[in-house]
Amino acid sequence: MEKAEPGARVAVFSKPHPLANELLTAIENCLARHGMDAVFDHVSASALGRADGHSREEAVLGANLVISVGGDGTLLSTARVVGKRGTPILGVNIGNLGFLTETSAREVTGVLNATLEGRARLIKRRALAMRRESDPEDAEITALNDVTFSKKDLARLFSLSLFVDENG
């Protein structure tokens, strides 16, 4: 990832968790040392005792980086908000096991410094898009990891068309 210029916008999302407060303070301090414009979602701002929390949709607008503090579920919900913008997401795991959130709480300052200084490697993941053709009112849904199809009645069948890069 390229070096972040001072004043670059960094959105920070988290889930309520006892370990989040200390970690969010470390992230806030690191971003301030680098001169970043930190924008916190409502949950993160509340954990820091700040009154300037934003909706996630507002916070991600114009962001150069999004930091997701929680677990894989938090990262997946962050990816849904980021959508097709292509904004890099740094996933920080505060639980026991994270497949998508590889950065641990004790590594966050070092990894965040490396990211902001342009020393981190950006891994691009393909997003999935799902749309139900039977309901034109449904918007396209973007997913990072998987999409689950379920039906109300056990006996119902459905047709599935799969396209990869516009090829079906």
Residues tagged active-site:
72
Residues 6+ apart with CB under 8 A from 148: none
Q: Which two tokens stand for residue 80?
A: 């849904």
- Whether 4 and 36 have beta carbons less than 8 Å apart is answered as yes
CA 35, CA 120: separation in Å to the nearest integer? Answer: 18
Q: Using CA of residue 60, residue 63, residue 54, residue 89, what is the dihedral sign?
A: positive
| Cβ contact 59:11 at 8 Å | yes
Cβ atoms of 122 and 88 within 8 Å: the answer is: yes
Structure tokens at 26: 């470390």
From the list 145, 110, 114, the residue with the least C-alpha distance to 130 is 145
Which of 78, 58, 80 lies closest to 70, judged by CA? 78
